[in-house]
Amino acid sequence: MDVIFADQQLGHHPEAFIARGRVATNPERAERAGRLLMAAAGAGHHVVAPANHGPAAIAAVHDAGYLEFLHTAHGRWMELPNAGAEVQPNVHPSRRTGNRAAGARALGIVGLAGHYIADTGTPIGPATYHAAYWSAQTALEAAERVRASGSAAYALCRPPGHHAYADLAGGFCFLNNAAIAAQYLRERGAPRVAILDVDVHHGNGTQGIFYGRDDVFYASIHADPTSYYPFYAGYADERGDGAGYGYNLNLPLAHGSGDSEMLAALDNALAAIGRFTPSHIVVSLGLDASEHDPLGALKVTTDGFGAMAKRIASLGLPSVLVQEGGYLSEALGGNLVSFLAGFEAGFKPR
């Protein structure tokens, strides 16, 4: 299987991460991508760099004001007196009351940071936009190869994307790579696209982008968000809105769930995806469901990732595999290799 990777993604070096009131080293480090790349190459996968597909496919998903903010935020931030090294919001305005959504661009950079960044785990440094742009290009390259071949490709994207809304960064994510890939496929003739998210965290941004649509089916298997990020989305009663009602499926798992619970939920998700009859599937591949992941709340084993992949591959759909979470542990590379091997073993194109 082709592995798509852009070296430009390594330039993003977030420092700050505030969790439970403590400042810690941000776990979304460039080393993640290096370990995944080494493991994939070591397993014999062909690594290729993406072409630059341009900004239009990103703008098809993300708000223009938000993209302008991401592109200019760090430069504007550094013009502030006594500014820290990274753009980090110190205000978190509610989007429900009293916000200036229509006039967001008129705000100063501190106000814009609060408007466009959801949490304190998603700081913007000097190379963040460039890295996120090439992360999206990585997903687009995989989507184009899958569109042309009808097969599968793995996009080693970093920073990840599934917590990013059309106009909001969060959860280490800036541009929603899976959503960008799905929209790209739709605009190039795919009648229906399914997105299957198996990250330990619910992909609230992806859900939000497609919540009112019936041409993209979103299914997510994740740890119960009651006491886990993203907290405010990912519940089973979130089914979609308007034309999108019934095209959103959340399957939250109790914390500590392992292979058997994950595979049972996956069977439910795959059955729902099968009823949707998509022409293509985008998989938001989070390896942070691992029993060894430092942020994980689930207990999926290395063999479990291979079993998951084999079942997903059995759909026989052209498949874009997009890297999401999966943080530093000794098992990280092995989990990816297991998933890719399982997928190749189970994939029989229709």
The pLDDT score that the predictor gives to residue 97 is: 47
Tokens representing residue 157 in the block: 């994207």
pLDDT tens for each residue of 214-259: 999 999 999 999 999 999 999 999 999 999 999 999 999 999 999 9
pLDDT(147) > 80 = yes
User: Which is it for the CA torsion 22, 24, 27, 28, positive or negative?
Assistant: positive
pLDDT(99) > 50 = no
Q: What is the CATH number of the domain that holds 297?
A: 3.40.800.20
Residue 328 lies in a domain: yes
| Per-residue confidence band for 95, with pLDDT thresholds at 50, 70 and 90 | low
pLDDT tens for each residue of 164-218: 999 999 999 999 999 999 999 999 999 999 999 999 999 999 999 999 999 999 9
Which one, of 154, 145, 160, 179, lies nearest residue 59 by Cα?
179
pLDDT tens for each residue of 259-299: 999 999 999 999 999 999 999 999 999 999 999 999 989 99
User: Considering the chain, what percentage of its residues have pLDDT values greater than 90?
Assistant: 91
pLDDT(125) > 60 = yes
The pLDDT score that the predictor gives to residue 349 is: 83
The pLDDT score that the predictor gives to residue 342 is: 98
Residue 248 lies in a domain: yes
**Domain of 293?**
2-15+24-63+123-346
Task: State the total domains in the chain.
Answer: 1
Does residue 163 have an active-site annotation? yes
Residue 113 lies in a domain: no
Residue 92 lies in a domain: no
Residue 105 lies in a domain: no
**What does pLDDT average to over the chain?**
95
Give the mean model confidence (pLDDT) for residues 86-94. 87
Residue 222 lies in a domain: yes
CB-based burial label for 18 (10 Å; 0-12, 13-18, 19+):
middle
Catalytic residue among 163, 201, 202, 280: 163
56 neighbors 67 (Cβ within 8 angstroms): no
Residue 102 lies in a domain: no
pLDDT(143) > 80 = yes
pLDDT tens for each residue of 158-170: 999 999 999 999 9
The pLDDT score that the predictor gives to residue 102 is: 47
User: Considering the chain, what percentage of its residues have pLDDT values greater than 70?
Assistant: 96
Residue 317 lies in a domain: yes
- The 3-class secondary structure across the chain, one letter per residue, is CEEECCHHHHHCCCCEEEECCEEEECCCCHHHHHHHHHHHHHCCCEEECCCCCCCHHHHCCCCHHHHHHHHHHHHHHCCCCCCCCCECCCCCCCCCCCCCCCCHHHCCHHHHHHHHECCCCCCECCCHHHHHHHHHHHHHHHHHHHHHHCCEEEECCCCCCCCCECCEEECCECCCHHHHHHHHHHHCCCCCEEEEECCCCCCHHHHHHHCCCCCEEEEEEEECHHHCCCCCCCCCCCCCCHHHCCCEEEEEECCCCEHHHHHHHHHHHHHHHHHHCCCEEEEEECHHHECCCCCCCCEECHHHHHHHHHHHHCCCCCEEEEECCCCCCCCHHHHHHHHHHHHHHHCCCC
pLDDT tens for each residue of 19-48: 888 888 999 999 999 999 999 999 999 999
